[in-house]
Copies of this chain bind each other. A is one copy, B any other.
Amino acid sequence: MHKRFSVGFVSKDVRRIPDATIARLPRYHRALLELAAAKTATVSSDELADLAGFNAAKVRKDLSYLGTYGTRGVGYDVDNLRRQIGRELGLTESWPVVIVGIGNLGRALATYSGFAMRGFRIAALLDADPTKSGQMVGSLPVRPSSDLATIVGTEHVAIGIIATPGVAAQDVADQLVAAGVRSILNFSPAVLNVPEGVAVRGVDLAVELQVLSYYQHHRDDLGASA
């Protein structure tokens, strides 16, 4: 019913999935993994909403952007839906990622089993501090930052994780971009400047706490939020 790409001259409307929906797809994907593990064959939008932490209307609307994968009166086939979402997210093979900055946080990320389990492979660990080189973290050695370009090239790394202090972050981002990385997950509190075409997501741990602080502080003004 929906064409992927118009074949003509005009690369007109490529059925754009809303950003808000994309941000939720991973949660559906994870919920479906759990359902599959529990040998559940089908799931309704209501149940899926519960498992993923949203509401049924949102689930149906979100899934409708991917295509028509449900069966009226029945629900969605767990395996098929998971496969479709995984394909949309590009999880059909595991992306190699590098982690730059092997401090406490970098070490934790390096050994986080959730990455491997959900479509990602740690290709290398890098740190600018030469005294860390060779040190083992999990099953990987720490390598000097100067190896970055080589590693990205040979391992076809597409995603870089920055776990350095804020002051080093822009520098690392520049190096990643120069090496060809076009997706960056930034755990430093710094705001990164990157050229057009490079995607950046930031997770600032203190920001999350400060937002909670706001709701805690204003608790009585109005109800809490999720």
Task: Please determine whether B14 and A221 come into contact, CB atoms closer than 8 angstroms.
Answer: yes
Contact A207–B27 (Cβ < 8 Å): yes
- Chain B residues with CB under 8 A of A208: 185, 201, 203
Binding site for B on A (CB under 8 A): 2, 4, 14, 16, 19, 22-23, 25-27, 29-31, 51-53, 88-91, 95, 97, 103-105, 107-109, 111-112, 114-115, 117-120, 158-159, 161, 182-185, 189, 191, 196-201, 203-226
- Measured between beta carbons, the chain B residues less than 8 angstroms from A31 are 191
A52 neighbours in B (Cβ, 8 Å): 191
User: Are B189's CB and A30's CB within 8 A?
Assistant: yes
**Contact assessment for A211 and B201 in the assembled complex, using a CB-CB cutoff below 8 Å:** yes
Contacts of A191 in B (CB 8 A): 27, 31, 51-53
Please give, as numbers and ranges, the residues of chain B lying within 8 Å of A158 by CB-CB distance: 216
| Given A89-B213, A183-B215: A205 touches B112 (CB 8 Å cut-off) | yes
A90 — nearest CB in chain B belongs to which residue? B217
Choose one: B51, B189, B199, B213; the contact of A225 (CB below 8 Å): B199
- The interface residues of chain A, by DSSP majority, are classed as mixed
Assess whether B212 is in contact with A226, with CB atoms less than 8 Å apart.
no
A51: shortest Cβ distance to chain B, in Å?
Answer: 7
Measured CB to CB, the nearest residue on chain B to A94 is B213
| Contacting pair B210 A89 (CB below 8 A) | yes
- B contact residues around A213 at 8 Å (CB): 89-91, 95, 119-120, 159, 183
Nearest first, the 9 A-B pairs at minimum CB distance are A90-B217, A53-B191, A26-B210, A108-B108, A104-B108, A199-B224, A118-B206, A26-B207, A183-B212
CB atoms of B182 and A25 under 8 A apart: no
Q: A104-B111, A114-B206, A207-B26 are in contact. Are A199 and B220 (CB under 8 A)?
A: no
